[in-house]
Chains A and B, each alone.
Chain A
């Protein structure tokens, strides 16, 4: 299998002079019924793909905003199984690839072979597992090898060059470049070395590079989108959807459009 569906969606977007915009949502924040509504809204608003977060009891890589959204979703009784089933129920209406972000333990509990078998039927073409680094990724890669589902790796821009290159070489779907040292959440500034780091990463990678962690304003989207092939926006989207501020979501997505690629 080629695992190119997510990659193609991003490249097509770049070919049209736009940067990819991948919003993160917390599945079931506001109840299971909001999942379809939010996904269809984001699709219509121009998202390139959607990262669907699964709540977890111990989300170590997440900051306050996503933790709180996760706790709201957990209180609604949301689980990976429920989300997979719900996604499958309106798969025909979703034209952009979905990517599931979940910690490893719920996946182990679901079963590696089961999730590999169920993803495509739910319109899921990528998995992001923040606590599954390259060294441990083999167990899930094996299970996914005959599917269209990419196992998307995160890369920390402050990692040593050899590590960044090793991750870039093994990458599927896209590379999720963590633009700050830390957990998810809104930030006001990014380090100056970022530009060089992103350029080196793009040079080493055969799949698109999306920047994420801390991107919260249209200006961030333009700046970081300009340095990468697109952006992932999490906490700012989660907050806007929680507050029902759909205009803010549109403004963020629109900031990724009509950008000349500088690569």
Chain B
């Protein structure tokens, strides 16, 4: 792929969408550029992030986890303390305000674990927008309570039973809905994925995570961290965390994909590890696919990481080796859920637990005067049923 257009991250990204969406994407691009230049927009967003979401979130020194690992000092960026329980609200609010700026009355979104759906339903309730969320049938089964939450917030949740009935199919359906209702509807894409300008918009709304972390770690320690770790599904919490550190060559960045049952079993969601390039949902990325270019189902115990590709900017950061991408299995993530719960009194989301597991291994290999920051992207309440089932109902 040598074609160069806007919205490229190296060879990745682009705008591979039906012609009927191009005008909407260009309109979004213009509206977003204008919003960035308008101080009242960022002022309004900052107001809601502070007063509604509860930012800034703490950067917490995990003393007992540090002791447990026996190496570098571990800090947790507490995105789980945001209203609605995950980092997703940062983006949903930003894009909902953008929708209002564009004069749109309705919002469509997709959701996997339900966190983005809940965040978007919340932002829409707050701002008086009509909201439809597409969710895979399989995910609805796994995250029943989040469906109820969205409905309670006044959102219409539509079950998608096409294809594998998971996140990728929900994105397909949300895109189809957007194509048909583009005049009065904005699509709030939940991860740093999709056609330009979505990966950029989502990153920009999520970079508050990294900006705060940078400032807070300097307040705590008087210096930048040696390593930053975040989990990667589509990659929105990770890109928001990493972006402000990309130019700091001394800060090592680690993205943790979901290895599911193990990479060698083929049942995983680690698209970067798969090394196959392709186009899905409007962008050129690393994509899990078969030899005929059909997209394969991703597998992870964590619904939020269960996506067969990784956002284009991450693909580029992998290519230029600025970020090191590794993976953690379902089993390891479950261990980390239990570990963090016991030693710090924080029940992490299964997604974030992938980062916790990896960071603990990493910290063990580092010196005691070094610093590791984990992006704790969400809380684990939504996963209690899954975790309990996976642990076989055993008493802990």
Contacts and interface: CB of A to CB of B under 8 A. Distances in A.
Contacts, number: 116
A133 B278 contact: no
Contacts of B280: 58, 105
A136 B23 contact: no
B22 interface: yes
Interface stretch (A35-43, A176-184, A224-232): A176-184
A109 interface: yes
A109 B183 contact: no
Given A133-B19, A154-B19, A181-B182, A104 B294 contact: no
14 contacts: A56-B294, A58-B163, A60-B281, A104-B279, A105-B279, A109-B278, A109-B289, A109-B292, A133-B19, A135-B15, A155-B19, A156-B23, A181-B182, A183-B179
Q: Among the interface residues B20, B163, B291, which one has the most CB atoms of the partner chain A within 10 A?
A: B20
A240 B70 CA distance: 69
A145 interface: no
Interface of A: 56-61, 63, 67, 71, 74, 79-81, 103-110, 130-136, 138-139, 153-156, 158-160, 163, 167, 178, 181-183
B293 A182 contact: no
Contacts of A57: 163, 294-296
Given A60-B175, A60-B176, A158-B23, A80 B279 contact: no
B133 to A, nearest CB: 17
Given A105-B280, A181-B180, A163 B293 contact: no
Interface of B: 1-3, 5, 14-20, 22-23, 162-163, 168-169, 172, 175-176, 179-180, 182-183, 277-282, 287, 289, 291-296
Contacts of A138: 3
Nearest to B174: A60
B16 A178 contact: no
A67 B292 contact: no
Given A58-B295, A74-B294, A156-B23, A131 B179 contact: no
A168 B186 CA distance: 28
Contact of A108 (B23, B182, B278, B282): B278
B136 to A, nearest CB: 13
Contacts of A154: 18-20
Contacts of B168: 58
Q: 8 smallest A-B Cβ distances: which pairs? A: A109-B293, A106-B293, A182-B180, A79-B292, A57-B294, A105-B293, A154-B19, A61-B18
Contact of B293 (A74, A108, A134, A135): A108
A67 B172 CA distance: 11
B269 to A, nearest CB: 16
A105 B287 CA distance: 10
B292 to A, nearest CB: 4
Contacts of B1: 139
Contacts of A183: 176, 179-180
Contacts of B172: 58-60
B296 to A, nearest CB: 8
Given A56-B294, A58-B163, A139-B2, A105 B289 contact: yes
Contact of A104 (B16, B22, B175, B180): B16
Contacts of A103: 279
A100 to B, nearest CB: 14
A182 B162 contact: no
Contacts of B162: 67, 71
A249 B1 CA distance: 40
Contacts of B5: 135-136
Given A108-B279, A160-B23, 6 more contacts: A57-B296, A60-B172, A61-B18, A71-B162, A133-B17, A135-B22
A188 to B, nearest CB: 15
A222 to B, nearest CB: 25
A131 B17 contact: yes
Contacts of A106: 292-294
A56 B18 CA distance: 15
B294 A136 contact: no
A178 B176 contact: no
Contact of B22 (A63, A105, A163): A163
A105 B293 CA distance: 5
A155 B22 CA distance: 10
A59 B162 CA distance: 11
A172 to B, nearest CB: 15
Nearest to B1: A139
Contacts of A71: 162
Nearest to A82: B292
Contacts of B163: 57-58
A52 to B, nearest CB: 16
Contacts of B20: 61, 154, 156, 178, 181-182
Given A104-B279, A105-B278, A105-B279, A131 B292 contact: no
Contacts of B277: 108
Given A131-B282, A163-B22, A105 B295 contact: yes
B16 A109 contact: no
Contacts of A181: 20, 179-180, 182-183
Contacts of A178: 19-20
A61 B180 CA distance: 10
A60 B163 CA distance: 12
Contacts of B279: 103-105, 108, 131
B395 to A, nearest CB: 42
Q: Which of B5, B16, B293 has the most CB of A within 10 A?
A: B293
A154 B23 CA distance: 13
A131 B195 CA distance: 11
A152 B266 CA distance: 37
Given A60-B175, A105-B287, A133 B15 contact: yes
B3, B5, B23, B292 pick with most chain A CB within 10 angstroms:
B292
Q: Which of A63, A108, A167, A178 lies at the interface centre, i.e. has the most chain B CB atoms within 10 A of its CB?
A: A108
